[in-house]
Amino acid sequence: MLAAGALVPAAARDEVAPVREQLRAELANAAARGRIPGAIAIIAKGTERLVDVTVGHSDIAAKKPLGHDAIFRLYSMSKPITSVAILMLAERGKLRLEDPVAHYLPEWRDMRVYVSGELDDMVTEPVRRPVTIADLLTHSGGLTYHFTGDTPVHQYYRKYGVMRDTPVGRMSGDGAPARTLRELVARLSRAPMLHQPGETFAYSYSTTVLGAVIERVSGQRLDRFLKAELFLPLGMTDTGFYVAEADLDRFTPLYRESADGLQVAETPESSDYRDPARLLDGGGAIAGSADDYLRFAQMLANDGTLGGVQILSKASVDAMFTPRIALAGFGPEHAPFGYGVLLGDAESEARGGLPAGAGGWAGSGNTWFFVDRKRRSVALVMTHFLGNGEGQAAIRNALTSAYSQLVRP
């Protein structure tokens, strides 16, 4: 592994070192206070790693240090990966973004939308137009997640197991989750939709359905397509839907915030990431290392190319980073959203958040990344705990502060 700053020209190291050590100190303090288990933070500009720090523990109870080669649950940071795969297929003429989803998933004909009533006496109406691939890329297709609200539609998802088996958002009374991608897509086709297609943003299983579209269009299982077409070409050798026995020692436990501090939510040994038959959810079930995700992010920062390998055209990356809809349901913010990524604007940059024109996303385990195409720069943090409290704020504030000092002066 290259040491922090090893790729930075000597003249710049004096400027980088204080910022790097401040970032390290802030993350280490959050770990020492029990707000995070540990974290890896990387800031890169072009091919240079300006900052690369690792702090804290993989396993807190065992006092096992977090290794730089640790494997993390990406959760929703899987979404940009699957979104890129859809754009790859569109470039090859295998699908069009304006195509109805039902063209590839016939079970998605005759979808219905919630109008009124309670769980057991819902009134629904037909969709006014078909759900499209573009709707799914922007989470505007009318789907939702079981854990993002408590409307009758959300209650339906819980009662009838319209979900995959994951520690995120599960409750004891939920119905049995779907066992396969095909089964989950079928359950989604029967579930009432939260709103009419294209009407508004609602965070959802949309990207999961895109994974099913990829399978139908490519004729390959989602894991095999992503490995052959994206992971191996980019050198992402630690990324996939499964963690092999030989790599289990690098796979972190998962923690959950509680009033009593961080509590174990899942151990590597009990994780379904060990199961080759697990549901292939391109919206939230990929695992990978910090170095691997850095390569994916650098490809986007470099207009779709990395190390001489072209994954997407610049036009497709431009399309991905073009505002399509306003984010909703994540607090007071109404930030622009593109194809699979949240976008920064002047307001977010002024608040110290995403730079204007940048795009990124986060995972439930508090992994987070963004790509600043204007400056050919990326920033990411990898960690392994559920919760959106003080720990999340600490790592995001530390990363954005370091980024603004190093890249955005």
Task: Please give the average per-residue pLDDT across 304-329, as a whole number.
Answer: 94
Task: Please give the average per-residue pLDDT across 115-141, as a whole number.
Answer: 97
pLDDT band at 293 (very low <50, low <70, confident <90, very high): very high
Q: Exposed e or buried b for every residue in 167-202, given b needs 16+ CB within 10 A?
A: bbeeeeebeebbeebeebbbbbbebbbbbbbbbebb
Structural domains in the chain, sorted by start = 21-77+221-308+350-406 (3.40.710.10), 83-218 (3.40.710.10)
Whether 287 shows a pLDDT value over 70: the answer reads: yes
Task: Please give the average per-residue pLDDT across 55-75, as a whole number.
Answer: 98
Predicted local confidence at residue 374, as pLDDT:
93
* Displacement of CA 232 from its chain's centroid (Å): 19
Sign, Cα dihedral of 98, 301, 356, 393 = positive
Task: Please give the average per-residue pLDDT across 400-405, as a whole number.
Answer: 94
Can you tell me the distance from the alpha carbon of 75 to that of 19, in angstroms, rounded to the nearest whole number?
A: 29
Return the ∠ at Cα 369 (arms to 41 and 61), rounded to 5°.
50
pLDDT band at 409 (very low <50, low <70, confident <90, very high): low
Residue recorded with tokens 């802030």: 26
pTM: 0.94
Predicted local confidence at residue 216, as pLDDT:
97
Predicted local confidence at residue 7, as pLDDT:
46
Predicted local confidence at residue 25, as pLDDT:
98
Can you tell me the distance from the alpha carbon of 396 to that of 25, in angstroms, rounded to the nearest whole number?
A: 14
Whether 328 shows a pLDDT value over 80: the answer reads: no
pLDDT tens digit string along 343-355?
998 888 887 778 8
Higher per-residue pLDDT: 22 or 167:
22
Higher per-residue pLDDT: 366 or 10:
366
pLDDT band at 320 (very low <50, low <70, confident <90, very high): very high
Q: Are strands 112-116 and 123-126 parallel, antiparallel or unpaired?
A: antiparallel
pLDDT band at 329 (very low <50, low <70, confident <90, very high): low
Task: Please give the average per-residue pLDDT across 108-125, as a whole number.
Answer: 96
Whether 79 shows a pLDDT value over 60: the answer reads: yes
Task: Please give the average per-residue pLDDT across 72-91, as a whole number.
Answer: 98
Whether 5 shows a pLDDT value over 80: the answer reads: no
Portion of the chain with pLDDT greater than 90, in percent: 88
Residues 6+ apart with CB under 8 A from 30: 36, 39, 390, 391, 394, 395, 398
